[in-house]
Structure 1
Amino acid sequence: MKISEAQKKILDFEFSRGWNVFKESQIFTHLVEEISEIGRHILTREGYKVRELGHQIAEEDVSREFAQAFALFLQLANRMNIDLEKAFINEIELMEKRFNAEEWRKYVKERFSKEKKE
């Protein structure tokens, strides 16, 4: 599915339920909430939070959290009249010019090989 198709699908979904009455600030806050849930999964995965040591950890599949965040992100972009597909392509083209791949590979290799030795 193209990003533009996903934007259309979420727009239809939103309007069919009357959700178009919600404010952008509410959608944004909900998006942040879902991203925080992804963060909780990451903290658990990396061992920072441990269920057996007192942390409360969501049982939900993290892919659902990503899907929920993506849907809210699309919904917010629609509200702001942003064609995400076009914006993404333009941004990648700018980033390709701005961040030289060879220079960055060299920097990352040098930087992270030093950290491993320390």
Structure 2
Amino acid sequence: PKGQAEDSLNMMPVLRDQAKSPRDVLVHNNKRWGIRKGDWVLLENPRDSKKADYLAANKFPKVQEGSEVLYNLSEDLGQRVDLLNKYPEKAKQLREILHQARSKR
């Protein structure tokens, strides 16, 4: 509708290899916010307590409720090694982009 933010883009040319993606950032919100830019992913409050048994059985690291995690998908596609403390500036950069996206809601 007029005066409302655009909620999607036509991705068909990208899927057909006719164009590059118009996006360089992907923001996700499904009760928890997350952002991906390039190979980096920042997730807020990433674990669901209902899935704790599954996560423990599959050797996912424990994450404190209310925290964030940072992953580099080029080195850790399974998202098992939290790099938040090792790369605080990368986390800060992604957090700022995420806050900007959230404020547009």
TM-score range, shorter chain: under 0.3
Give the structure with the larger helix fraction.
Answer: 1
Scaled by the length of structure 1, the TM-score of the pair is: 0.25
Scaled by the length of structure 2, the TM-score of the pair is: 0.27
Give the structure with the larger strand fraction.
Answer: 2
**Larger RCO (CA under 8 A, 6+ residues apart):** 1
